[in-house]
A and B are shown apart, each in its own frame.
Chain A
Amino acid sequence: MYEYDQLDQAFVDQRVAEFRDQTRRYVAGQLSEDEFRPLRLCNGLYLQRHAPMLRIAIPYGLLASRQLAKLADIARRYDRGFGHFTTRQNLQLNWPNLTDVPDILAELATVQMHAIQTSGNCVRNVTADHLAGIARDEIDDPRPYCEIIRQWATLHPEFTYLPRKFKIAVTGSPQDRAASEVHDIGLHMARDAQGSIGFTVLVGGGLGRAPMIGQVIRDFLPLADLLSYLEAILRVYNRHGRRDNLNKARIKILVKTLGIERFREQVEAEWQLGRASAARLPAEEVARVRSFFRPQPYLALEDFDASAGREPAFQAWYRYNTRPHRMSGYRAVFVSLKAHGQNPGDMSSEQMEAVAALAERVSFGLIRTTHNQNLLLADVRQSELYEVWLELARHQLAMPNIGTPHGHDRLPRLGFLLARQRRHARGGEADPGALRQSRLPVRPGRYRDQDVRVHERLRASPRRPHRHPRRRQARRGVVPDHPRRLSQRLHGARRSHRSLSAEDPGGGNHRANRGGVSHSAHRGRALHRHVPPRGPCALQGERLCDAFCGGVRWSRTTGFTSAKRPPTARR
């Protein structure tokens, strides 16, 4: 993995000292809230309703054992003994004290970590395929290019005050395992006819309240032009992206408003003008960064079926939670952070320490975080899989549910997407290209917990108090949690369904009333039977499902729709 040089370390240390001073002045009342906000945001610190939240950067999801152990230590000493791994491969601490944050950052700096540019309207952590470097279908390891982009984007003077946050993902294989289609910029590694490395560039994807799939802006971008092209895209966005409305400030809105052709024209024009003066990426620099991601010193081993003759629980885990490795004799092992009753992505200090120690023993001391909020031990010898399973199971980290929607009950149901598509098909909305929620009635109270925004459904965690105060009450026993709300949704749906009159099948707002989850819960089976899932909306849904669940879908009425039915958990 990338090691800091002296300059990097000095820079991070200086940032810690600077933030310590700023925090001290804020606490002493010398800095106002308004003045402190941009300063804390550029260090990853949010001050939310109930507690501060500190988001720690894990560049492209790569962690060393000592770093994970340090995170465990920090979570125990400064937080409540757990951390939350996010869909962008970072770690969030939800309960630190403001005055402790400088100390936390200082601790992080000792293991070459920081929280710079994890919030604010800048280029955020660059994410990568979690199987980078070990996948058999890979064109090239994307992580060196992530690192190059990270270095270029860190404190970029021009792009630190963009209209809105900016997220880039790089995937090295034809199969997009980095959800790059739903990023502001998605880079897919490719080779041209001469066999040289480059990228297919997607732009304008995103989740949130207006989920969109990114569109191809350039089929092949030579590696040497990577940074100048990114600069052109970001400059067009910086100059022309909307700044008047927070909800319309992401680049996806600009791309959608202009149309991909016009946006491409503007970027190409900007690129041609700026290309001459922009730095081309020298081959030596690429080689230098690549040298940090050399293959591990693998042993020459033979492949064998480690699950043969073992107990069914191990076989299930082997089938779902391990993946083939480029090297024979090795397998990649997922550490599932999606045990029943656990919040997806949460991990206790004890678990972190156990995984750190395990990685040190069996996987060259490296751990990866995935955009599905699990961890990955990338290079485990097949002969050691059984012991690894035992160890993970001991810490409730071996639930065989990777690549299934088990952990992703927050994905939109396919039925919901199909319902949306049917509405488009009737001409209800002009643009079926984007999944939009805005036409649903906004009725605070009744629909509040029926939050159908896709992004929220992907990442919401009940233990993020600043977003889910109700859940916090639930934990305290004030409000009974999930079951009651579930039944409320279903009853609400039935009531509105019954109130339909035969003369008014399409009018009124009943359709809108039934929109979202309750609709699909009630009608899911019928939808699956009658509507071919082929329209643009359903297609988007499928691609989201592919990106996050490996293609397996779940419907509340029919169960898993794919033949790949995961086994029940055995403990």
Chain B
Amino acid sequence: MVADDWIHLGEEAADGAALIVPLAELRKDAGRWWQWSGRLGVRITPIDRVEELAEELPRLDLVAVEFPSPSEGRGYSQGRLLRERLGFRGELRAVGAGVRQDQVFLLARCGFDALELAEGEDAGRRVPRAAAL
């Protein structure tokens, strides 16, 4: 568990803050977001094709992969592709209502190095096991 200085678009963001922008928003208003003064991350949904991010990845510090439900499995493929095929070296974060402690082990093996647990999930309990693995 670490303090999180990243801010999702829609939350209150001061100039120069580290900001996570949904991919659709990034595409819509590319000029504005690429000029952003702070660090920039992108948030992708299960249906986004990560291959299309290939050229922008070096300029991104974070990719947040969305897991809308616990049974959603596409994010695991996206994570592996980002790490193994596209060579992404920044932070790879799992976000959304589907991120549960039980998935920590799987997520870590797919290249994720951060996660925002869904609301109501008790972060403390499973962390020792994840660390052990």
Residue A163 CB within 8 A of the other chain: yes
Of B74, B85, B102, which is within 8 A of A273 by CB? B85
A357 to B107, CA, bound (A): 45
B73 with A162: CB separation less than 8 A: yes
A239 with B77: CB separation less than 8 A: yes
Contacting residues, chain B, for A235 (C-beta < 8 A): 77
Stretch at the interface among A153-161, A302-310, A391-399, A478-486: A153-161
B106 with A160: CB separation less than 8 A: yes
A236, closest chain B residue (CB):
B77
Contacting residues, chain B, for A38 (C-beta < 8 A): 70-71, 100, 102
Decide: A160 near B73, CB < 8 A? Known: A38-B102, A39-B102. Answer: yes
Q: Interface residues of A toward B: which range?
A: 10 to 19
A157 with B85: CB separation less than 8 A: no
In the assembled complex, the CB of A549 is this many whole angstroms from the nearest CB of chain B, namely 37
B-facing residues in A254-286 (Cβ within 8 Å) = 273-274, 277
B106 with A238: CB separation less than 8 A: no
A514 to B64, CA, bound (A): 55
Binary interface profile of B, 28-44, with partner A (CB < 8 Å = 1, else 0)? 00000000000000000
In the assembled complex, the CB of A24 is this many whole angstroms from the nearest CB of chain B, namely 14
Contacting residues, chain A, for B110 (C-beta < 8 A): 157-158
B72 with A158: CB separation less than 8 A: no
B77 with A238: CB separation less than 8 A: yes
Of A39, A157, A159, A161, which is within 8 A of B72 by CB? A161
In the assembled complex, the CB of B33 is this many whole angstroms from the nearest CB of chain A, namely 26
Number of interface residues of B (CB under 8 A): 17
Contacting residues, chain B, for A121 (C-beta < 8 A): 71, 73
Contacting residues, chain B, for A161 (C-beta < 8 A): 70-73, 76
Contacting residues, chain A, for B84 (C-beta < 8 A): 274, 277
Interface centre among A157, A159, A238, A243 (most CB of B within 10 A): A157
Residue B80 CB within 8 A of the other chain: yes
A239 with B85: CB separation less than 8 A: no
B-facing residues in A79-120 (Cβ within 8 Å) = none
Residue B59 CB within 8 A of the other chain: no
B102 with A158: CB separation less than 8 A: no
Decide: A159 near B73, CB < 8 A? Known: A39-B102, A277-B84. Answer: yes
Binary interface profile of B, 57-87, with partner A (CB < 8 Å = 1, else 0)? 0000000000000111110110010001100
A239 to B75, CA, bound (A): 9
Binary interface profile of B, 8-44, with partner A (CB < 8 Å = 1, else 0)? 0000000000000000000000000000000000000
A274 to B106, CA, bound (A): 20
A277 to B77, CA, bound (A): 14
B102 with A163: CB separation less than 8 A: no
B72 with A243: CB separation less than 8 A: yes
A158 to B85, CA, bound (A): 14
In the assembled complex, the CB of A150 is this many whole angstroms from the nearest CB of chain B, namely 18
A238 with B74: CB separation less than 8 A: yes
A163 with B85: CB separation less than 8 A: no
A160 to B109, CA, bound (A): 12
A273 to B87, CA, bound (A): 13
B73 with A238: CB separation less than 8 A: yes
Binary interface profile of B, 90-123, with partner A (CB < 8 Å = 1, else 0)? 0000000000101001110110000000000000
A35 to B98, CA, bound (A): 11
Decide: A158 near B70, CB < 8 A? Known: A39-B102, A273-B85, A277-B85. Answer: no
Closest 5 CB pairs of A and B: A161-B73, A157-B109, A157-B106, A158-B76, A157-B110
11 A-B residue pairs with CB within 8 Å: A155-B106, A157-B76, A157-B105, A157-B106, A158-B76, A158-B110, A159-B73, A161-B76, A163-B73, A238-B76, A243-B74
Q: A121-B73, A158-B76, A161-B73 are in contact. List 8 more A-B contacts (CB 8 A).
A: A38-B100, A158-B110, A161-B72, A163-B73, A235-B77, A238-B73, A239-B74, A277-B84
